[in-house]
Amino acid sequence: MARFTAVYLLLLVGAAAVAETTGADDGRRLVDQFVDDVATFRGRFQQALIDADGQLVEQTTGILEIQRPGRFRWSYVEPYEQWLVADGVNIWSYDVDLAQVTVKPQAEALANTPALLLSGADGALEQFDYQGSYVETVTTWVRLAPKNTDSGFMRVELGFVEHTLSRMVFFDNLEQTTLVDLSDVEVNKPIDPARFEFLVPDDVDVVGVPAIAGAMEH
């Protein structure tokens, strides 16, 4: 735990010693390419939650899959199994151990959150202010802040290596930080559409009411 926290703090605080500011358009170009040119994205992730004192609270692993527009799936494998599925209409959060599913309308749940950038929803970048970019060794970091912080997020940093998203850091209004490190990334390769569909298993509790496709258009 101590070693991981030290590496994390070096990434966020010590970066100033080795980083250099990029050209004004470099970061914008990388984010635009990620939102506009990436149709599918798949990679393994290691995710860590750090509290306000810099202590590691939780570490998880799993697989991230994106199919644009509007669909993604976070599959947490360790230390517990949980699925977060965006099917284009609703967000389904399934805790396998608790046998519980929480569902929310997707547009409402993702507004002003970093997940909006992952989904590639229309106008996603319009909900964020670009705060610049810098280079740390081989990674180009791009800073974005939601225009509305009611979602609980204060800032997101996206790290690109050779134009491919490889790291993400999320800062919330509780002074907690989530670090996501991606590996084995595949871009614009076919993903089974069924991965972004969610069928409620038998004998589970469902919290929330799903939106109906097309209902918001009438």
- Cα angle at 30 between 25 and 34, to 5 degrees? 145
Tens of pLDDT, residue by residue over 39-79, are 999 999 999 999 999 999 999 999 999 999 889 999 999 88
Tell me the average pLDDT across 82-90.
94
Q: b vs e for 102-128, b when ≥16 Cβ sit within 10 Å of the residue's Cβ? A: ebbbbbebbebbbbbbbbbbeebbebb
Report CA torsion sign: 1, 113, 152, 21.
positive
Tens of pLDDT, residue by residue over 106-141, are 988 887 678 888 887 777 888 889 999 999 989 999
Report CA torsion sign: 67, 138, 162, 146.
positive
pLDDT, residue 100, reads 95
Which CATH architecture group holds 19-197? Clam (2.50)
Percent of the chain with pLDDT over 70: 85
Tell me the average pLDDT across 85-101.
94
Cα–Cα distance, 168 to 99 (Å, whole number) = 29
Sequence-distant (≥ 6) Cβ neighbours of residue 168 within 8 angstroms: 114, 156, 157, 158, 159, 178, 179, 180, 182
Q: Is 49 exposed, middle or buried (0-12, 13-18, 19+ CB in 10 A)?
A: middle
Q: Please count the CA atoms within 13 angstroms of the CA of 112 that sit on its side-chain side.
A: 14
Of the pLDDT bands very low, low, confident and very high (cuts 50, 70, 90), residue 214 is low
**Which tokens in the block code for residue 80?**
């517990």
Domain limits, the chain: 19-197
- CA dihedral defined by 70, 76, 77, 81, rounded to 10 degrees? -110
pLDDT, residue 30, reads 93
